Amino acid sequence: MNQKYLIPLTAVFLLFLVAYTGVEGAGLQWFFGIVFPYVAILAFLAGFVYKVLGWASSAVPFRIPTTCGQQKSLPWIKQNTIDNPDTSTGVFLRMVLEIFLFRSLFRNTKAAFNRNASNRLSYSWEIFLWVGALAFHYSFLVVLLRHFRFFTSPVPSCIKFLEYIDGIVQLGLPGIFLSGVVLLAATLFLLARRIFDAKVTYISQAADYFPLFLIIGIAATGLSMRYFTKVDIVGIKTLTMGLVTFSPTIPEGVSGLFYGHVFLVSILFAYFPASKLMHLGGIFLSPTRNMANNTRAKRHVNPWNYDVKTHTYEEYEDHFREKMIEAGLPVDKKE
């Protein structure tokens, strides 16, 4: 047992129980359904803007692109324009591929000893982190977008289309949404990786486990509401519509499970700017990815440079010309 994951796990359980008992026992629907979601969204936006502005104001004195291909060189040497871009178009393409396909994660390798007699340390390509990350991020995106049906009325046709595609496997009633299942499976895989791979366990902190448990908790409560315990959807939609039209109401007959779900989501939003989840904003500012590799082709002046008092060779010669001629040293201008 490892306290680095036991403490976040307990924390997520307790947070859920706080909301559940707060609603079921103390009748605090207004707090968990109205006050805290508003506070969370404000904290999320303020924290996010603060963090990004902080990053934006830090100096970037020189270019530090990481390169994974041939640099622009002599005309007969073929350049890798995406992996080693020297133009902003190339950088843009590299960023698009990075953001939408996690290209640098695709290159993930693992180090392990060979299992044969040689027992050599060798590096091999490890694709499952990339697969898990891609499955997790995209299913989370689809789940997030699907939730717009609770915040719009009438629901836009693009959201309905997304629901149609997501529910294309007509299993059970209410029909299964693939994204929800993939989301839970992918988070559980990413968690299992942290717990069972000794090398990853070694570098995992509570701050790595907490968001995972939080998202697992959100997915589990969401799936349970939709498929198992069931909730009054119309009642819930009056609450969420009330939130986004600034006329909040608390519907009757909605169980504590829903408030637990909303509370965990609110915690995720409020916690977001203070956590590693800020890679949502940070990926756009990754200095090794978003700069063209033209350090030598273009002159980059250090923005920190102040006016250095220089003494050029011409000035030096003017200064010492007579002494130089006397000593027999060569001079540029003989006067």
Which amino acid is located at 152 in the chain?
T
Please pick, from the candidates 39, 99, 241, 277, the single residue that binds another protein as defined by CB under 8 A: 241
**Does 156 sit behind a cis peptide bond, omega within 30 degrees of 0 on the bond before it?**
no
Question: Least distance in Å: CB of 191 to another protein?
Answer: 27
**Distance of alpha carbon 177 from the chain centroid:** 24
151 binding another protein? (CB under 8 A):
yes
Contact (CB, 8 A) for 125 and 118: no
- CB nearer another protein, residue 57 or residue 124: 57
Residues 282-311 that bind another protein (CB under 8 A): 284-285
Q: Are 34 and 248 in contact (CB under 8 A)?
A: yes
Give the residues across from 125 on adjacent strands. 109
Draw the binding track, 3-42, toward another protein (x: CB under 8 A; -: no contact).
--------------------------------------x-
Contact between 168 and another protein by CB under 8 A: the answer reads no
Determine if 93 is a binding residue for another protein (CB under 8 A): no
The region of 68-76, 121-129, 200-208, 281-289 touching another protein under the rule CB under 8 A is 281-289
Is residue 188 within 8 A of residue 202, CB to CB? The reply is no
**Burial class (CB within 10 angstroms; exposed 0-12, middle 13-18, buried 19+) of 25:** exposed
Token representation of residue 217 = 């908790």
CB of 240 to another protein, least distance (A): 8
What is the separation, in whole angstroms, between the first and last Cα of the chain? Answer: 86
- Return d(Cα 93, Cα 241) in angstroms, integer: 39
> Does residue 238 bind another protein (CB under 8 A)?
yes
Q: Which stretch binds another protein (CB under 8 A): 1-9, 16-24, 168-176, 307-315?
A: 168-176
Report, in Å, the least distance between residue 46 CB and another protein.
10
Among the listed residues 196, 176, 200, 198, the one whose alpha carbon sits nearest the alpha carbon of residue 188: 196
Residues that bind another protein (CB under 8 A): 41, 44-45, 48-49, 52-53, 55-57, 60, 148-149, 151-155, 159-160, 163-164, 170, 172-175, 230-235, 237-238, 241, 244-246, 252-253, 281, 284-285
